[in-house]
Amino acid sequence: VGKRKESPAEHTWSSLVLADYFLNLMKDDSIDRLKVYEMLMYHDLIEIEVGDTCLSKIEERQDKEEKEKEALPVFKNKLPEAIRGKFEVLFTEFIEQKTHEAKFCKAVEYLDAEIHELDYKEDWKGWTEEFLREKKERLFEEFPEMREVFEKSTKFARDNGFFEQ
């Protein structure tokens, strides 16, 4: 997207493409692809109500999940009735992180954001590798293919001074 920030729609689309890429690499064929695609399609819609918060804005993120849960019934009722229930179920599953599909989608979401941010070195000011690992590394434990890309992007950031600002 050049030097501008990606839109939420672009983030959703790139997350879908990234998910498809990893689903085709993985040896685990037990993941429900349709559920993954639908969950990623809906996962950030609630941000229309509550906005997005950068990973490094720790104070602003403290009540992010609570704000999203409070906004869920309001936002859900703005959707067409035919998809309200599906949205609520998929969004709740994504937030709760209890299923393999939800964990996969969260890992994709965080990896997509990291890959995108490699174009914006200045956004990493004040970040440390330890901070990045604390926030993201655990998400890739079940997904070695994504873990490998996370390690490569983290190495790129380290080798190019992203953590030294």
Helices (H), 97-165: 100-117, 129-136, 144-159
Q: Is the pLDDT at 53 greater than 70, yes or no?
A: no
DSSP annotation of 32: -
Q: Compute the distance between CA of residue 109 and CA of residue 118 in angstroms, rounded to an integer.
A: 15
Average pLDDT, the chain: 89
Please, how many CA atoms are within 13 Å of residue 134, restricted to the half-sphere of its CB?
8
Predicted pLDDT of residue 59: 66
Which residue, among 42, 89, 44, has the nearest Cα to 64 in the 3D structure?
44
Instruction: Give pLDDT, residue 94.
Output: 93
pLDDT at 139: 97
Nearest to 45 by CA among 1, 81, 92: 92
Band the pLDDT of 67: cuts 50, 70, 90.
Answer: confident
Q: Give the residue carrying structure tokens 């040896």.
A: 27
47 pLDDT more than 80:
no
**pTM metric for this prediction:** 0.89
pLDDT in tens, 131-144: 999 999 999 999 99
**What is residue 87's predicted lDDT score, i.e. its pLDDT?**
93
pLDDT, tens digit (0-9, with 9 covering 90-100), for 100-135: 999 999 999 999 999 998 988 988 988 899 999 999
Amino acid at 86: K
How many residues would you count in the chain? 165
Please tell me the predicted confidence (pLDDT) of residue 57.
Answer: 61
